[in-house]
């Protein structure tokens, strides 16, 4: 309150406050509001009784003399009399009301200061704590009392780092294992969402790692075989199927793991195996067929000879035919044996320095008679170059190519074997001026028993296996094999 208001308050309290001195028996000795005699005995007043018994007392009640609500305060004096002060309650209220804004303001100010101070204190207290580097807690310059806690944090950090390193190493090991696998591997959750896919599986399914992450397998591949496999997996817990994708054949085997909360799938490329099986089946059928023909002929002629039905002058001719057919059969069986040896990976094959030109010259010598018979001029040219390989296989490769160059030639034609260098490779080229091969047949001639002209091949003693052996031998030496040919003009076979 300001000075003016205080003055008014003081004035009011002086005029309105009543002071009464009461004798121990209750008689009013003095009262500033009137003559002492005019007041009745105060012995029954609540504050008076209280003051007599306890030393002091207060009371609020309606005054008999003024008819107003009054507040009384009575104090027992040393001589046993009681001094009483009283004021209208209204006055007390107004005093309190006058003080209220000041009180509230004061309290607000105190609260503000308290908040501010607590902030500042908390800030200064917490600053060293918030400056602690949790990676290096012991390096922090902070309260000594915190040292044990910081040491524990440090210890915990060390343990966490070791654990993370262990987990990382495990993960790396797992990744290496999975990505080194030639088989495809994938792990899925219960809804066939991909959790982990290795490189081979991505390649086989034809998706990138980003495309596969988090997607379901059915969203990546919707082939009926795949859908059936997943359905069976749900039903029985394990399933397998073959899937054709991108020209390859894959075997998928899936099984549920972890009580059905996920599943894993292995994908194996079985193209070669399947095709190999198919080829072997076709091969054995072909072999039986190819062997049957000369055998039937031999059987026919020898049967007739045995039954004595052949005229003596024809006997020689029959025997020559039997010899020729037997020769054919022997050639066939030899080629078949050679091929099956190659099929098995040519176990025991040697790897040594082979002089290709020397090999070609030896071959030319062994084919001299055949060339002369067909009236073909066979030549060998080039430089002495070496490859690392099996001399028998290299010899067979050159023999078969040169043999064809003579067999499928024209009288007066030429056949040439040349050996030359091309970069860091050795090229063997067998060129002829023969009948040539039609473009549509150029791929097929390397297949087993394939002959562009069956009767002509038979007539020349061909088995249809020569180029298959050439192809195998080239593969064994990691060589490329190609053919260029123009029908009627000749062919060029290049092994590089
Ligand atoms: P074959 O024993 O019948 O000669 P190959 O496997 O060596 O069997 O050859 C397959 C077929 O390819 C032959 O029957 C022939 O039709 C054709 N061929 C191979 N070499 C030549 C060539 N130099 N010129 C023309 N045709 C060829």
What is the mean pLDDT of the segment spanning 7-13? 60
* Ligand 1 atom at minimum distance from 454 CA: 14
Cβ–Cβ < 8 Å for 333, 294: no
Say if residue 127's pLDDT is above 50: yes
Using a cut of 0.75, tell me whether the model's pTM lies above it: no
Instruction: Give kind and range of the element (H or E) at residue 267.
Output: strand 262-269
**Strand, coil or helix: 483:** strand
Say if residue 55's pLDDT is above 60: yes
400 lines ligand 1 (CB under 6 A): yes
Cβ–Cβ < 8 Å for 87, 59: no
Residue 382 C-alpha to ligand 1 middle, in angstroms?
A: 24
Instruction: Give kind and range of the element (H or E) at residue 195.
Output: strand 194-197
Crossing angle of helices 466-476/312-343, nearest 10°?
Answer: 20
294 lines ligand 1 (CB under 6 A): no
Of all protein residues, the one whose alpha carbon is nearest to atom 4 of ligand 1 is 462
408 lines ligand 1 (CB under 6 A): yes
Cβ–Cβ < 8 Å for 22, 42: yes
Residue 34 C-alpha to ligand 1 middle, in angstroms?
A: 155
pLDDT tens-place string over residues 166-196: 999 999 998 888 888 889 999 999 999 999 9
Which pLDDT score is estimated for 13?
Answer: 58
For residue 131, give both structure tokens: 């400056």
Of all protein residues, the one whose alpha carbon is nearest to atom 23 of ligand 1 is 405
290 lines ligand 1 (CB under 6 A): no
Length of the chain: 496
466 lines ligand 1 (CB under 6 A): yes
433 lines ligand 1 (CB under 6 A): no
What is the mean pLDDT of the segment spanning 300-320? 92
Say if residue 61's pLDDT is above 80: yes
437 lines ligand 1 (CB under 6 A): yes
Instruction: Give kind and range of the element (H or E) at residue 495.
Output: strand 490-495
Q: How many CA atoms lie within 13 A of 394 on its CB side?
A: 28
Which pLDDT score is estimated for 289?
Answer: 85
Which pLDDT score is estimated for 1?
Answer: 43
Exposure class string for 387-398: b at 16+ Cβ within 10 A, else e? bebbeebbbbbb
For residue 411, give both structure tokens: 């009288």
Confidence band for 335, pLDDT divided at 50, 70 and 90? confident
Better-scored residue on pLDDT, 360 or 92? 360
Secondary structure letter of residue 349 according to DSSP: -
Which pLDDT score is estimated for 147?
Answer: 83
The CA–CA distances, whole Å, from 240 to 163, 235, 254, 255 equal 38, 13, 6, 9
């Amino acid at each position: 309150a300001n000075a003016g208001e205080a003055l008014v308050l003081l004035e009011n309290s002086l005029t309105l406050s009543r002071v009464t001195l009461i004798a121990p028996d209750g008689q009013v000795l003095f009262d500033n509001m009137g003559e002492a005699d005019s007041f009745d005995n105060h012995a029954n007043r609540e504050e008076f009784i209280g003051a007599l018994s306890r030393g002091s007392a207060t009371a609020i009640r309606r005054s008999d003399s003024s008819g107003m609500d009054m507040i009384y305060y009575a104090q027992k004096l040393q001589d046993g009399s009681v001094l009483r002060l009283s004021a209208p309650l209204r006055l007390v209220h107004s005093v309190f009301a006058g003080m209220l804004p000041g009180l509230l303001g004061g309290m607000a100010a105190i609260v503000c200061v308290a908040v501010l101070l607590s902030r500042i204190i908390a800030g200064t207290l917490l600053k060293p704590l918030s400056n602690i580097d949790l990676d290096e807690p012991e390096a922090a310059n902070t309260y000594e009392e915190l040292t044990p806690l910081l040491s524990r944090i440090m210890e915990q950090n060390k343990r966490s780092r070791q654990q993370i390193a262990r987990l990382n190493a495990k993960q790396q090991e797992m990744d290496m294992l999975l990505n080194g696998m030639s088989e495809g591997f994938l792990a899925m959750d219960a809804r066939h969402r991909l959790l982990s896919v290795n490189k081979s599986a991505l390649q086989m399914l034809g998706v990138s790692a980003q495309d596969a992450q988090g997607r379901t397998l059915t969203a990546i591949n919707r082939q009926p075989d795949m859908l059936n496999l997943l359905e069976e997996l749900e039903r029985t817990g394990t399933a397998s199927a073959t899937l054709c994708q991108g020209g390859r054949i894959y075997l998928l085997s899936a099984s549920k793991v972890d009580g059905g909360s996920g599943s894993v799938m292995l994908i194996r490329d079985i193209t070669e195996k399947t095709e190999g099986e198919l080829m072997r089946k076709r091969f054995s059928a072909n072999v039986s067929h190819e062997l049957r023909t000369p055998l039937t002929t031999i059987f026919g002629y020898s049967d007739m000879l045995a039954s004595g039905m052949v005229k003596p002058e024809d006997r020689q001719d029959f025997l020559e035919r039997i010899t020729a057919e037997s020769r054919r059969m022997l050639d066939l069986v030899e080629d078949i044996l050679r091929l099956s040896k190659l099929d098995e990976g040519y176990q025991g094959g040697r790897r040594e320095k082979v002089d290709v030109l020397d090999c070609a010259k030896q071959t030319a010598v062994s084919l001299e008679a055949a060339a002369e018979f067909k009236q073909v001029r066979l030549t060998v040219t080039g430089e002495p170059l070496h490859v690392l390989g099996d001399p028998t296989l290299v010899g067979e490769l050159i023999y078969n190519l040169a043999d064809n160059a003579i067999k499928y030639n024209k009288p007066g034609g030429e056949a040439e074997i040349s050996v030359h260098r091309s970069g860091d490779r050795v090229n063997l080229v067998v060129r002829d001026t023969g009948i040539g091969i039609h473009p549509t047949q150029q791929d097929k001639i390397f297949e087993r028993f394939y002959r562009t002209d069956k009767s002509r091949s038979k007539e020349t003693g061909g088995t249809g296996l020569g180029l298959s052996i050439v192809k195998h031998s080239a593969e064994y030496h990691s060589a490329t094999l190609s053919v260029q040919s123009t029908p009627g003009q000749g062919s060029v076979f290049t092994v590089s």
